[in-house]
Amino acid sequence: MKSVDTEFIRTIAIIGHGGDGKTSITEAALFLSGVNTRLGRVDDGTSLMDFEPEEIKRGGSILASIANFPWNSHLVYWIDTPGYANFIGDTKACMRVVDGAVVVVSANDGVKVQTSTVWDFADEYEIPRVVFINRMDAERSNFESALEDLEANFKGTRMVPLVYPIGKESDFKGFVDLLSREAYIFSDDASGKFEKQDVPEEFTDTVATFRERMVEALVEADDELMEKYLEGNELTDEELLGCLKKGTCERQFVPVLCGSAAKNIGISHLIDLVTAALPSPIDRGPVKGKKPGTDEEITREPSPDAPFSAFVFKTISDPFAGRLTIFRVYSGTVQADTTLYNVTKDAKERIGQIFRLVGKKQEGVGSASVGELIAVAKLKETTTGDTFCDEGDPIVYEPARLPNPMITFALRPKSRGDEDKVASSLQRLMEEDLTIQLGRDEQTREILITGMGQLHIETTLEKMKRKFGVEVDLSIPKVPYKETIKKTAKGVIYRHKKQTGGHGQFAEVHFDISPLPRGKGFEFENALTGMNVPRGFVPAVEKGILEAMASGVVAGYPVVDVKVRFYDGKSHEVDSSEMAFKIAASMCFKKGVQEASPILLEPIMKMEIITPEENLGDIMGDINSRRGKVLGMDSKGKYQIVKALVPMAEVLKYAPDLRSMTGGRGNFTMEFSHYEEVPAHLKDKIVAQKQAAEEE
């Protein structure tokens, strides 16, 4: 398709809860616009947008896919986003770059959990939106109930229906357009074809009521037209359409349509509404960024003649094709076969072809301008979140603030020696999914992977196996317990003496061992006087203690927060050696710890749990059952924020539990706070588990 003027470009995300039909709507749009010659379907694996094997297997989107299609002199860039909590990070990253959104709600289920989540994302980015009530042909579907549910869940947002349905459930066949006051009856062959008819007589009164409600809402967007309307004058369709666009773009109200993606009913009207009411890049106005290296805010005009700037919002990693970098152009124009300046990395990148995408299909274009979503291949330095700009007039765009990963697993390669391959493969996948994190626990020596949920992590590992041939096993991470002492042991003496013929081994050390405040680690004091121990052996003594601290006397966990005062000892001019003093120090330390009331410590996590108010009681009770301490509460809109300290051992599987308690609406962050003594009734159980694991 030829390039079009900026005012005719629409950059849109379709958002909503998983399973409500976003991809099916997208497939219908591609079919109606002529991009696809048949109607792709998710259920039979013919979807252009859900093309990854993991998506085909699960019958739903796990990554956002990008399409573009022509529509009545417009060019529409359309991002089909995931709607399940496990993959919602990619949805938010893509919403960072759109000018408008289509929110999909199921006519038989209404507003679901992730519908509210993505609605909040749209509020955060101040994105104008329209609502499409899908599945009007399903059992229990009810247009007015879905409308009431929208208004109840998004209080303060005025929902403005533009249509009224004709028929219910399996008899649904079209709707009355309240603007044109015409009935649209659709063919039942999913072709999207329709006939215009007069409004059926039985709908006349209802349509009149709904139209009056619509007109009253629309004219509030324009003071002059409101005055004209209140004076009793009839408004033209053009005047009402002007109010529709103004009010939608300014987020004064949200227009609502209905239809069925499966039957291809109402999709053409939806795209008409997208092009008529949602904003172009020009309507959205100047885009904000910052002067590099400062907090000074600067702006760019959304004009092809302005200095070039673009934001990288997505990366696709492929072991054969290499990295595909996808960016939104905010100002200026970019040509194929040129050099771009990455201000984030302070690097220049040579690009070859420029592609428009439809799922995994790529169409080469010579140039791209404001509002377009463009892909380029095999860039060396650029990653998601980077900004391209004119080197002589730089600007930096802020990356999306993604949701925090919520669950951690330990992973172990199935094949020995594959650790490096696992790390490099996951690094490639982390380029396209920023909500995956990889780390290593130095104490337990486990490789840790953190994601939005168990399904998220499992899907990532399936992809790693398919793309890079690496397989791993998952397990619950080990808790990094530690050991310490509660009292001081003075005058601890240990003599190491061994005679084996020739030179023997001899060393004697005298220690005072005392506890330190929590978090202080280890302190070694050389308090020797006289010449009983040559000073050259002191480093060996400290080394012996440090080695002994790696495995404590309670359960073999590292010892922390102790001070050792080395104040005396004995040596032999022939049999003493560094090794002898190292062994003596190690054994003296263990002996002293035994005498100083050794205890087990567990890590305590600082948590912030975001929950709907109606689930607050369940959350508080659950925290108490996990041996947690509530520190306080705060509120954030319709949500409550609970701040608590909870033992790490009690929250290793908290993500699915929270999801269950809150119906998927809860979220949490967690970070290490400090160590505390394990209660006596749990200590023996932990020690037994450690011994059993070592025996295995």
Tell the residue number behind the tokens 């291949």, with chain if given. Answer: 377
pLDDT-derived band at 128 (thresholds 50, 70, 90) equals: very high
pLDDT digits (tens, 9 = 90+) for 480-508: 999 999 999 999 999 999 876 667 899 99
pLDDT of residue 498: 87
For residues 173-198, average pLDDT: 96
Residue 407 phi, psi (nearest 5): -140, 145
For residues 453-459, average pLDDT: 89
Q: Which has the closest alpha carbon to 177: 140, 230, 214? A: 214
C-alpha angle 419-421-424 in degrees, rounded to nearest 5? 110
The pTM for the full model equals: 0.84
Lay out the sheet containing 489-498: strands in order across: 489-498, 505-515, 562-570, 522-526
For residues 654-670, average pLDDT: 85
The 3-state DSSP class for residue 541 equals helix
Distance CA 455, CA 118 (A): 20
pLDDT-derived band at 651 (thresholds 50, 70, 90) equals: very high
pLDDT winner (highest mean) among 52-61, 211-220, 631-640: 211-220
The first and second tokens of residue 409, run together, are: 């697993």
Specify the range with the lowest mean pLDDT, choosing from 41-45, 588-592, 594-598: 41-45
Rg (alpha carbons) of the chain, rounded to whole number: 33
Measured in whole angstroms, how far is the alpha carbon of residue 133 from the centre of its chain? 26
pLDDT of residue 58: 80
pLDDT digits (tens, 9 = 90+) for 190-205: 999 999 999 999 999 9
For residues 586-596, average pLDDT: 96
Provide the percentage of residues in the chain whose pLDDT is more than 70.
98
What the chain holds in terms of domains, given with CATH numbers, is: 6-284 (3.40.50.300), 290-389 (2.40.30.10), 412-475 (3.30.70.870), 483-596 (3.30.230.10), 602-695 (3.30.70.240)
Mean pLDDT, the chain, whole residue set: 92
Measured in whole angstroms, how far is the alpha carbon of residue 635 from the centre of its chain? 22
Distance CA 36, CA 48 (A): 8
Yes or no: say if 644 and 629 are a contact pair by the CB < 8 Å rule.
yes
C-alpha angle 485-486-487 in degrees, rounded to nearest 5? 100
Residues pairing with 334 in the sheet: 368
pLDDT-derived band at 42 (thresholds 50, 70, 90) equals: confident
pLDDT digits (tens, 9 = 90+) for 401-450: 998 888 899 999 988 778 888 888 898 889 889 999 998 888 888 899 99
pLDDT-derived band at 160 (thresholds 50, 70, 90) equals: very high
pLDDT of residue 417: 76
pLDDT-derived band at 606 (thresholds 50, 70, 90) equals: very high
pLDDT of residue 179: 95
pLDDT-derived band at 670 (thresholds 50, 70, 90) equals: confident
pLDDT digits (tens, 9 = 90+) for 61-95: 888 999 999 999 999 999 999 998 889 999 999 99
Provide the percentage of residues in the chain whose pLDDT is more than 90.
74
pLDDT-derived band at 664 (thresholds 50, 70, 90) equals: confident
Residue 17 phi, psi (nearest 5): -70, 150
For residues 651-663, average pLDDT: 88
Q: Please, which contacts does 621-628 make with residues 24 or more away whose CB atoms are closer than 8 Å?
A: 622/657, 622/661, 626/650, 626/651, 627/679
Distance CA 490, CA 592 (A): 8
